C-alpha cells in the first residue's frame, strides 16, 4: 500500500473488560486485519460509566481493570499491537497502555474509527474523527433498541456510517421494523492464517461455546426477540437421536445443567476453553465440529446474522451445523456448513457430516473464505471512506 492510501484507523473494542479468549478474537481480528491491509491501526477501549470489568480469577464484575489490562497487554503484543493500544478508565479519569499519552494526537489525526459492536461510547476526543463506523454485531436486537431506547439511538447516531451482521436487513428481507438507520451489510472478519487447519479428530464431540441467556428478551410492538434458551427448546432430544457426543461449554446463571445432562448433553464450564486465545483455538480444533443454535431473535427476524465463533470453527477446518437465520442467502451451505430449522434437520446434518467427514472438513475451510479479513475489511473501509451519501453526517 502506498503512503497516500494508508489510513490511520482506530478500532474500538471490548478486551480489557472481557478478558476471555472467545471474546477477544472477534475484536482483535479487526485490528490485525486492518493492519495487514497496510493501515496505521490502534486499538482503543473505554471502561464505560458503570462497573463492567470482568475478572475470571475473582468471578466478579466491577470497576477494577487490573486483570483485563494484563490480559490485553499479552494478547495485543502477541499480534503486533503491543505498542498500539490504550484504555480509558472513566471511573478514575485515567488512560492506561502504551498510547496513553498520545490520545489527543491519535484522535486529531485519525481518518476513521471502527466501533465494533458499538461497545464504546463516543467521547469528545473521538467526535473529531471524520469517519465513524458503527458495526452492529447483534442485529434485530440493535434495531429494536434503536427504536425503543433513546440513549441507544443517540449513541448509534454519533456515527456516520453503519454496518450490520444482519445481512438481510439492508436487503429488505428481514422481519423487522425500519429504525431509519442506513445499514450496510458486513460479516465477521477472520484472519485465516491465524487459524491452522489440522486433521479432524475421529472420536471427538460436536461442541459449542455459548451463553444460555445473554440478556433479557425484548418485545417491540408485539414482536418477541428471545435468547438461545428459547431456540434450544426444540433440540433437547438431539443427543438421543445421533451417535455422537454433543458438548456445550455453556454459561449464564440460568443454565439448566441437570436437565441438560439428564437428556444426554455433555456440559462443561465455558471458562475452561475460553481461558485465553490459545485455549479457545485448541478447543475448537479438538472438536469434531460445531452444533449450535442461534438467539431466537435472530431466527424469528430472519436477519441473516452469522456467528463469529462459527466462522472460527470453519476456519479451523471444522464443519458447522447451525440454526438458520437467513444467512444461507449470503454464505454457501450444504458442504462444511449445514443449516437447520428443526430437530430432524439437525439430526440429518450431523449424520451427513459423519458419513463424509474429511470432505466436510475441507469444505468448512473453503466456506471460511467468505469471512476472509482481506475481503471483508477491505470492503468495510472502502465504504467507510466513501463520501457518497450512504451514511449520516455529523
Kindly report, residue by residue over 132-184, the tens digit of the pLDDT. Answer: 999 999 999 999 999 999 999 999 999 999 999 999 999 999 999 999 999 99
Q: What pLDDT does 390 receive?
A: 55
Cβ 246 vs Cβ 203: under 8 Å: no
User: Does the predicted TM-score (pTM) go above 0.75?
Assistant: yes
Distances in whole angstroms, Cα of residue 132 to Cα of each of 3, 39, 191, 272, 383: 21, 16, 23, 36, 11
Query: For residue 3, what pLDDT is reported?
Result: 74
What burial class does residue 15 get, using C-beta atoms within 10 Å of its C-beta: 0-12 exposed, 13-18 middle, 19+ buried?
A: buried
104-133 average pLDDT score: 98
Is the pLDDT at 92 greater than 50, yes or no?
yes
Question: At 372, is the pLDDT very low, low, confident or very high (cuts 50, 70, 90)?
Answer: very high
What's the pLDDT at 394? 40
- Asked if residue 391 has pLDDT above 70, the reply is no
What mean pLDDT, rounded, does the chain reach? Answer: 96
> How far apart are the C-alpha atoms of 265 and 282, rounded to whole Å?
21
Flag whether pLDDT at 388 surpasses 80. no
From-to residues of CATH 3.40.50.2000 in the chain? 192-371
Average pLDDT over residues 284-288: 98
Task: Sheet containing 289-292: give its strands across.
Answer: 266-268, 246-251, 206-211, 289-292, 320-323, 337-340
Domain 192-371 in CATH 3.40.50.2000? The answer is yes
- What fold does the segment set 3-190+372-385 form as a domain? Rossmann fold (3.40.50)
Give percent above pLDDT 90 in the chain. 96
Please compute the mean of the pLDDT values over residues 292-297 and round it to a whole number: 98
pLDDT of 389 above 70: no
pLDDT-based confidence at residue 392 (cuts at 50, 70, 90):
low
Amino acid at each position: 500500500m502506498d503512503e497516500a492510501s494508508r489510513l490511520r484507523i482506530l478500532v474500538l473494542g471490548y478486551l480489557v473488560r472481557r478478558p476471555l479468549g472467545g471474546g477477544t478474537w472477534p475484536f482483535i481480528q479487526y485490528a490485525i486485519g486492518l493492519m495487514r491491509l497496510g493501515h496505521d491501526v490502534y486499538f482503543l477501549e473505554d471502561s464505560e460509566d458503570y462497573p463492567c470489568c470482568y475478572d475470571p480469577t475473582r468471578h466478579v464484575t466491577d470497576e477494577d481493570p487490573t486483570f483485563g489490562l494484563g490480559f490485553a497487554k499479552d494478547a495485543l503484543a502477541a499480534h503486533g499491537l503491543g505498542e498500539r493500544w490504550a484504555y480509558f478508565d472513566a471511573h478514575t479519569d485515567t488512560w492506561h497502555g502504551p498510547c496513553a499519552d498520545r490520545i489527543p494526537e491519535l484522535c486529531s489525526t485519525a481518518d476513521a474509527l471502527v466501533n465494533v459492536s458499538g461497545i464504546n461510547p463516543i467521547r469528545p476526543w473521538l467526535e473529531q474523527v471524520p469517519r465513524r463506523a458503527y458495526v452492529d454485531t447483534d442485529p434485530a436486537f440493535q434495531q429494536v433498541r434503536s427504536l425503543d431506547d433513546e440513549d441507544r439511538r443517540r449513541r448509534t447516531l454519533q456515527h456516520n456510517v453503519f454496518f450490520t451482521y444482519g445481512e438481510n436487513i439492508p436487503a429488505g428481507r428481514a422481519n423487522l421494523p425500519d429504525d431509519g438507520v442506513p445499514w450496510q451489510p458486513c460479516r465477521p472478519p477472520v484472519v485465516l492464517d491465524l487459524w491452522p487447519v489440522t486433521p479432524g479428530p475421529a472420536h471427538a464431540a460436536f461442541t459449542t461455546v455459548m451463553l444460555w441467556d445473554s440478556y433479557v428478551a425484548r418485545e417491540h410492538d408485539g414482536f418477541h426477540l428471545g435468547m438461545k434458551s428459547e431456540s434450544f427448546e426444540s433440540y433437547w432430544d438431539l443427543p438421543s437421536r445421533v451417535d455422537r457426543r454433543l458438548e456445550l461449554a455453556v454459561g449464564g446463571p440460568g443454565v439448566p445443567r441437570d436437565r441438560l445432562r439428564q437428556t444426554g448433553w455433555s456440559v462443561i464450564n465455558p471458562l475452561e476453553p475460553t481461558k485465553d486465545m490459545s485455549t479457545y483455538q485448541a478447543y475448537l480444533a479438538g472438536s469434531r465440529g460445531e452444533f449450535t443454535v442461534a438467539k431466537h431473535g435472530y431466527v424469528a427476524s430472519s436477519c441473516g446474522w452469522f456467528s463469529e465463533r462459527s466462522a472460527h470453527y470453519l476456519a479451523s477446518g471444522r464443519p458447522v451445523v447451525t440454526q438458520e437465520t437467513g444467512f444461507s442467502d449470503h454464505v454457501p451451505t450444504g458442504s462444511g456448513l449445514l443449516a437447520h430449522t428443526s430437530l430432524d434437520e439437525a439430526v440429518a446434518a450431523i449424520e451427513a457430516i459423519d458419513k463424509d467427514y474429511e470432505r466436510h472438513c475441507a469444505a468448512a475451510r473453503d466456506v471460511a473464505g467468505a469471512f476472509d479479513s482481506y475481503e471483508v475489511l477491505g470492503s468495510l473501509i472502502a465504504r467507510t471512506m466513501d463520501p457518497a451519501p450512504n451514511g449520516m453526517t455529523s
